[in-house]
Amino acid sequence: MRIEKHPILEFRRNKKITFTFNGEKIEGYEGETIAAALHAAGVKVLGKSLFMHRPRGFYCAIGNCSSCLMEVNGVANVKTCVTDLEEGMVIETQEGKGEIV
C-alpha cells in the first residue's frame, strides 16, 4: 500500500527505480523516502527495539523517533523516513546500535 497523503510530508514521486533491501531487489520511486518505498513493498518491520527486541515499523515519518533506523549504503543509523530513495541504494536492517542483522 503506497502512502498517498500525509499531514506534514509532501510526496514527490518521479521515475520508477530499483534498490536492494536485505539482498532482495525492490522497486520504488525516485523522490519518495526509503521507509515509504519499503512500506509500499509490504515491509512492515524496519528494525527492533534496543533492549526488548520488539519490532519497530514506519511510525512518525518526520525523523523524530528511532523506529526507522537502518544501514544505507554501509552507513549505520540512517533515518529512512526522511532519507530520499535513490537508484541502486543498498539498505539493510540493523539490530541494536548498528550491528547488521
Range of the domain at 44: 16-95
Q: Is residue 5 part of a domain?
A: no
Confidence of residue 2 (pLDDT cuts 50, 70, 90): low
- With 60 as the cut, is the pLDDT of residue 23 above it? yes
Average pLDDT over residues 23-45: 92
pLDDT at 101: 52
Q: What CATH number is given to the structural domain containing 88?
A: 3.10.20.440
Q: Is residue 78 part of a domain?
A: yes
What is the per-residue pLDDT across 54-98, written as a single tens digit (0 to 9) for each? 888 777 777 778 788 999 999 999 999 899 999 999 999 987 676
Q: Which long-range contacts (CB under 8 A, 24 or more apart) does 48-51 make?
A: 48/95, 50/96, 50/97
Q: Is residue 6 part of a domain?
A: no
Our count of domains for the chain comes to 1
Q: How many residues does the chain have?
A: 101
Strand pairing report for 55-56 and 69-72: unpaired
Q: Is the pTM of the predicted complex or chain greater than 0.85? A: no
Q: Distance (Å, rounded) from C-alpha 20 to C-alpha 36?
A: 14
